[in-house]
């Protein structure tokens, strides 16, 4: 696969054109690119990434976005609609995630730029609140190894020691007693996932809540992936343990509106049981020559179009719409899991629901991935152990997709059986960046990322 498929097909712009490029010419190029890229996921064979897949919904949100795209959400005096949109997004998400159970404090939240943004804001809030109330200057948080890498990124950025603890290999969830043993006087929060990205399993949040309460620390539940679908799954009767604010000890939750909330990419929500924790991470600079500056989050200027489109998405679906879509996603996911279980060589990790991961104790599971790629499937890869996962979304619920998955998997297992003992060609991948490698590959990964980001800066070779 080439990361630069357009270099030889369309003009490469390395400087601003001297004259305006006609709009119809620009749009013709973009329509061609968009149609080709949409074709890659419209088949229903791409794990995650495209959570909605409904072009009519996209068109509706595009219209909403266009009304407010040029508006700066930071300037609430000029555009009070931003306050309406963000406040109602937070309120609706809080209602979905057990906010009615909060009776000992005033909850609050922030609309952020995505799952990583929500996790980063939670970490800043816990760090600064603990500094203000407990005098902690060397904070740490305890996270299961399976919790998202954004926690490690936040620790790197904000000077927080992120302590990883192992998970039970059979359940792919963390043991509460292991988390408790890792807590010390500088721990500001512990982490649980609902569900984790890799395996789709939900950590024992009620037990972690008791650990948090007994040690006087926060408990952040990362529901970036599952926050907007697991609640509907519980209502539909699936065996999903409680994980929201109805659980004593849960002090914050992240949930991505741009995933199963079916908003545009670039929006997420982080909720806090107590506004005091959220407010601790606000930034103020009152003695700046440019005026008194205050910021509720990391970002400064943002497009009000994203807030408007996210707000419109929640209204467009409504609770019954979310339940109906979730019903199709869960049933498709379990049908796909049945296909995996039909092969004794394959093993599903833990007890997942809409997102599941499977491995093999008989051969390198990436042989299965290699074959499925040939049939147009794009999975996400895990490591330790090697595994591949499918996050089932709207496009997979199309008629025939689950059956095609089962049929192609039959051939993939036969392919892998023929190659026992051989090395596979693929490896673990997240967000298009290769993983599944040892630490010695760090330099290679940095080089590859730099090449992807800087490719268009390359100067064309000189003639002659």
Indicate the pTM of the whole model.
Answer: 0.92
Q: What is the pLDDT of residue 269?
A: 98
Residue 242 makes CB contacts below 8 A (sequence gap 6+) with 205, 206, 234
List the domain range (segments joined by +) for residue 146.
Answer: 81-313
Q: What is the pLDDT of residue 452?
A: 56
Domain-located, residue 111: yes
Domain-located, residue 23: no
Task: Indicate if 307 and 358 belong to the same structural domain.
Answer: no
Domain-located, residue 364: yes
Whether the predicted pLDDT of 442 surpasses 70: no
Task: Indicate if 283 and 326 belong to the same structural domain.
Answer: no
Task: Indicate if 225 and 367 belong to the same structural domain.
Answer: no
Pairing of strands 187-193, 346-348: unpaired
Domain-located, residue 243: yes
Domain-located, residue 60: no
Q: What is the pLDDT of residue 5?
A: 85
Task: Indicate if 177 and 252 belong to the same structural domain.
Answer: yes
Domain boundary among 313, 332, 366: 313
Task: Indicate if 117 and 240 belong to the same structural domain.
Answer: yes
Domain-located, residue 184: yes
Whether the predicted pLDDT of 459 surpasses 50: no
Q: pLDDT tens across 321-378, in order? A: 999 999 999 999 999 999 999 999 999 999 999 999 999 999 999 999 999 999 999 9
Task: Indicate if 325 and 428 belong to the same structural domain.
Answer: yes
Residue 298 makes CB contacts below 8 A (sequence gap 6+) with 112, 117, 120, 121, 124
Predicted confidence band at 435 (pLDDT cuts at 50, 70, 90)? very low
Residue 40 makes CB contacts below 8 A (sequence gap 6+) with 46, 378
CA distance linking residue 306 with residue 312, whole number of Å? 10
Mean pLDDT of 298-318: 96
Whether the predicted pLDDT of 464 surpasses 60: no
- Higher-confidence residue of 373 and 437: namely 373
Task: Indicate if 349 and 429 belong to the same structural domain.
Answer: yes
Q: Concatenated DSSP letters for 272-309?
A: ESSHHHHHTT-EEE-S-TT--EEESSS--S-BHHHHHH
Average pLDDT value over all residues in the chain = 92
DSSP alpha helix (H) spans, 135-161: 149-158
Task: Indicate if 302 and 384 belong to the same structural domain.
Answer: no
Q: What is the pLDDT of residue 463?
A: 38
Q: pLDDT tens across 372-426, in order? A: 999 999 999 999 999 999 999 999 999 999 999 999 999 999 999 999 988 888 7
Q: Which helix (H) or strand (E) holds 141?
A: strand 140-144
Task: Indicate if 337 and 434 belong to the same structural domain.
Answer: yes
Domain boundary among 255, 288, 313: 313
- 């399976």: which residue's tokens? 146
Domain-located, residue 292: yes
CA distance linking residue 117 with residue 148, whole number of Å? 12
Whether the predicted pLDDT of 170 surpasses 70: yes
Domain boundary among 274, 293, 313: 313
Q: Return the sign of the alpha-carbon dihedral for residues 336, 342, 347, 349.
A: positive
Q: Which helix (H) or strand (E) holds 208?
A: helix 205-215
Q: What is the pLDDT of residue 432?
A: 46
Whether the predicted pLDDT of 216 surpasses 80: yes
CA distance linking residue 169 with residue 178, whole number of Å? 13
- Is omega for the bond preceding 9 within 30 degrees of 0, making it cis? no
Q: Residue 168's beta-bridge partner residues?
A: 173
Task: Indicate if 273 and 359 belong to the same structural domain.
Answer: no
Task: Return the CATH number at 411.
Answer: 3.90.1150.10
- The backbone torsions φ and ψ at residue 49, rounded to the nearest 5 degrees and listed phi first, read 65, -55
Mean pLDDT of 242-257: 98
The percent of residues in the chain predicted with pLDDT above 70, rounded, is 91
Task: Indicate if 382 and 273 belong to the same structural domain.
Answer: no
Q: Concatenated DSSP letters for 347-384?
A: EE-SS-SSEEEEEESSS-THHHHHHHHHTT-B-EEETT
Q: What is the pLDDT of residue 430?
A: 55
Domain-located, residue 32: no
Q: How many domains does the chain have?
A: 2
Task: Indicate if 117 and 253 belong to the same structural domain.
Answer: yes
Task: Return the CATH number at 224.
Answer: 3.40.640.10
């Amino acid at each position: 696969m080439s990361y630069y498929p357009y270099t030889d097909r369309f003009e490469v712009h390395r400087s601003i054109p001297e004259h305006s490029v006609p709009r119809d010419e620009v749009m013709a190029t973009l329509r061609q690119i968009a149609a080709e890229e949409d074709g890659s996921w419209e088949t229903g064979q791409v794990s995650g990434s495209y959570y909605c897949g409904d072009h009519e919904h996209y068109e509706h949100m595009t219209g909403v976005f266009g009304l407010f795209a040029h508006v700066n959400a930071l300037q609430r005096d000029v555009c009070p609609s931003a306050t309406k949109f963000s406040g109602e997004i937070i309120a609706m998400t809080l209602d979905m995630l057990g906010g009615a159970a909060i009776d000992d404090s005033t909850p609050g939240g922030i609309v952020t730029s995505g799952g990583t943004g929500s996790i980063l804001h939670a970490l800043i809030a816990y760090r600064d609140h603990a500094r203000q109330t407990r005098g902690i200057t060397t904070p740490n948080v305890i996270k299961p190894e399976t919790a998202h890498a954004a926690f490690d990124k936040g620790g790197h950025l904000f000077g927080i020691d992120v302590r990883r603890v192992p998970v039970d290999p059979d359940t792919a969830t963390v043991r509460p007693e292991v988390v408790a043993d890792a807590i010390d006087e500088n721990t500001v929060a512990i982490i649980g996932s609902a569900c984790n990205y890799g395996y789709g399993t939900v950590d024992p949040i009620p037990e972690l809540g008791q650990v948090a309460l007994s040690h006087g620390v926060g408990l952040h539940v990362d529901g970036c992936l599952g926050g907007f679908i697991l609640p509907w799954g519980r209502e539909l009767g699936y065996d999903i343990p409680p994980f929201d604010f109805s659980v004593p000890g849960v002090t914050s939750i992240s949930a991505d509106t741009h995933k199963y909330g079916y908003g545009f990419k670039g929006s997420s929500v982080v909720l806090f049981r107590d506004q005091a924790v959220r407010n601790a991470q606000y930034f103020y600079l009152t003695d700046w020559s440019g005026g008194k500056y205050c910021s509720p989050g990391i970002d400064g200027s943002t497009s009000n179009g994203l807030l408007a489109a996210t707000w419109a998405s929640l209204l467009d679906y409504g609770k019954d719409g979310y339940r109906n879509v979730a019903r199709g996603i869960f049933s498709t996911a379990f049908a796909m899991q049945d296909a995996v279980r039909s092969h004794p060589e394959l093993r599903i990790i833990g007890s997942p629901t809409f997102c599941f991961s499977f491995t093999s104790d008989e051969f390198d599971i990436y042989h299965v991935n290699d074959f499925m790629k040939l049939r147009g499937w794009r999975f996400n890869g895990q490591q330790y152990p090697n595994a591949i996962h499918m996050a089932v979304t709207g496009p997979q619920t199309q008629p025939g997709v689950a059956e095609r998955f089962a049929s192609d998997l039959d051939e993939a297992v036969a392919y892998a059986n023929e190659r026992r003992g051989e090395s596979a060609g693929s490896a673990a991948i997240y967000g298009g960046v290769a993983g599944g490698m040892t630490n010695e590959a760090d330099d290679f990964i940095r080089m590859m990322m730099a090449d992807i980001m800087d490719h268009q800066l390359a100067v064309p070779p000189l003639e002659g």
